[in-house]
Amino acid sequence: MKPFEPNTFRQHFPLIVNQENLDHLLNTAILTNERLEQTGLVYFDNGATTQKPACVIESYHDFYQAKNANVHRASHGLSAKATAAFEQARETVAHFINANSSKEIIWTKGTTESINLLAATLGKTILQPGDEIFIAVSEHHANIVPWQLIAAQTGAVIKTLPLDANGRIDLNQVEQLLTHKAKIVCCSHVSNVVAKINPISDIIAKAKTVGALTVIDGAQAIAHLPVDVQALDCDFYVFSAHKMYGPTGVGVLYGKQAILEAMPPYQSGGEMIKTVSFTEQTTFNELPFKFEAGTPNIAGVICFAQGIQFIRQYDSAEISAYEQQLTQYCYQALQQIPGVTFIVEQAPDITVIAFTINDHHNHDIASSLDSYGIALRSGHHCAMPLMDYLNISGCLRVSLAPYNTIAEIDYFINVLKKILKQETSVNTTNLEVSATVESDAIVEKFSNIKSWDARHREIMLLGKKLERLDPCYRNQHTLIHGCESLAWVKASTSVTGHYHFQADSDAKIIRGLLVIVLAAFNNKTKQQIQSVDVNSYFESLGLLQHLSPSRGNGALAIVDKIKALSCA
């Protein structure tokens, strides 16, 4: 077993040490006296997906260059070679989580498909009207919506498990709420937002006393905690490869063999059948193939096994200790920044830290950090019910991995402080924002700005100067669907048929984009509005290639709303 050393470990991840990213970041003005020499990309979005080590990437090339054939179905040697690697990967995963048999490992596209499989098949077999499905309020949408759909089809009832002040599922409430009406209990091992380890052993034990099946979402836990499904005695445990150094598009559904055998197939087609006939009843394959219809993601599965082998060569206790060091250092540094509020009490159990900043929209902070090469996540994190439960609209989430460093955290904290200082200081743009601002003026202004961070600051400044929309006009009729934050636009027309648009958003970055978009459409006729080439306009400003997909789509959603209003 290799000793774990952070700087050596990070060298295995090509994207992290990519020199082009270094050049990009060092061009940022803020780094004149604060250069972060180790990397050009500070990647703090590991809860969404981890970066991939070189051995996993190379495994893809090796498969397609040396082993590419379909599995299980051919009699030639190349297929046998691919099948052996594919099934060895199943054995690797079974051993990794201590499953009783490799038959209990079902390949899926990811955690989401694993849960959909369970909801659809269990719903057909065990749910009746009035039965109860319990879901923790902290769950990811993937562990909520599939159960809502099957509940609507079967007449079952969704019940929620509340949290304690620290963000863990409240065991006292579990004891009181679970009765013999409970048929399925769903909860995450670790929430993707509050990052607290739930008392799942106690929850599983309680579920057994009332005869309920347990579905544990391990998507966040699997990269940070040792998982022993036999010790937990859960009925199902699901997770994704891409959150633990493996490829996207590969997931695992662990289920107890007896329960899986009693469940009907999820999808039909090749491989999942034993016999097919027009005159006799079709019979299904044995486990695990009964649930694996069609050609699987063969290369992805094999690469996933390579990812597991990569991480198992290190002492897990050493990695865990380093992750805790990173977490405590970052958490304590954030504590020192005025206005930072953590969404639950006490430090997280894994390397995921969720927080808000008073009087600052989380998207504004995230986009500002991105302009300095820092990648983290903002929004509701696919946990809208949790946001409602905590009475917040969204939050920022820093999620760390063992290839992150203390130096990166220091850089992040310094940049965050600088952003907050800039936000509270008096900044002005020499571009006057008014009802008559023209797109030519916007283009001229942005043509003189060379770097993305400077463009971003100009957008934020424009957002500060946009006249706010009267609250009475912020309603469902004016709401722009497709923006990552709330945004509204209203239209009025002159006697000459020229349109005037007013808009607003709860995020400065979106308000800045609104100024830019409105400049292209204000004081135009319907025909002129419909003929605006918005892609060329955005291209001339040098914006869309730097905006996140959600903000880029948000800008296009604004355009769609304006064009729709002009046609109404």
For residues 562 and 522, what is the distance between their CA atoms, to the nearest angstrom? 10
User: Cα Rg for the chain, rounded, in angstroms?
Assistant: 26
Give the strand pairing for 42-43 and 374-375: parallel
User: What is the Cα–Cα distance from 261 to 454, expressed in whole angstroms?
Assistant: 60
Cα angle 170, 317, 319 (rounded to 5 degrees) comes to 95
**Strands 213-217 and 236-240, sheet pairing:** parallel
382 noted as active-site residue: yes
Rounded to whole angstroms, how far apart are CA atoms 306 and 91?
A: 12
Angstrom distance (rounded) from CA 29 to CA 194: 34
User: Where do we find the tokens 């940070």?
Assistant: 224
Place of tokens 């200790």: 321
Alpha-carbon distance of 2 to 319, in angstroms, equals: 11
Kindly name the residue from 382, 395, 472, 483 that is annotated as catalytic.
382
In angstroms, the CA 489 to CA 475 distance is: 10
Q: Which residues pair with 186 in a beta bridge?
A: 135, 215
How far is residue 328's CA from residue 35's CA, in Å, rounded to a whole number?
Answer: 24
> Could you tell me which residues are beta bridge partners of residue 135?
160, 186
Are 399 and 375 in contact by the 8 Å Cβ rule? The answer is no
Of 308, 265, 230, 284, the residue nearest 106 (C-alpha): 265
Q: 519 to each of 432, 449, 477, 493, 524, how far by Cα in Å?
A: 12, 18, 22, 16, 10
Q: Does 288 sit behind a cis peptide bond, omega within 30 degrees of 0 on the bond before it? A: yes
Pairing status of strand 105-108 against strand 157-161: unpaired
Q: Nearest 5°: phi and psi at 282?
A: -65, 135
Q: Rounded CA gap, 537 and 517, in Å?
A: 9
Strand order in the sheet with 377-379: 340-342, 352-357, 395-399, 377-379
Residue 188 phi/psi, 5-degree rounding, is -85, 145
Give the C-alpha separation, 15 to 6, whole Å. 16
Q: Hey, which residues are catalytic here?
A: 382
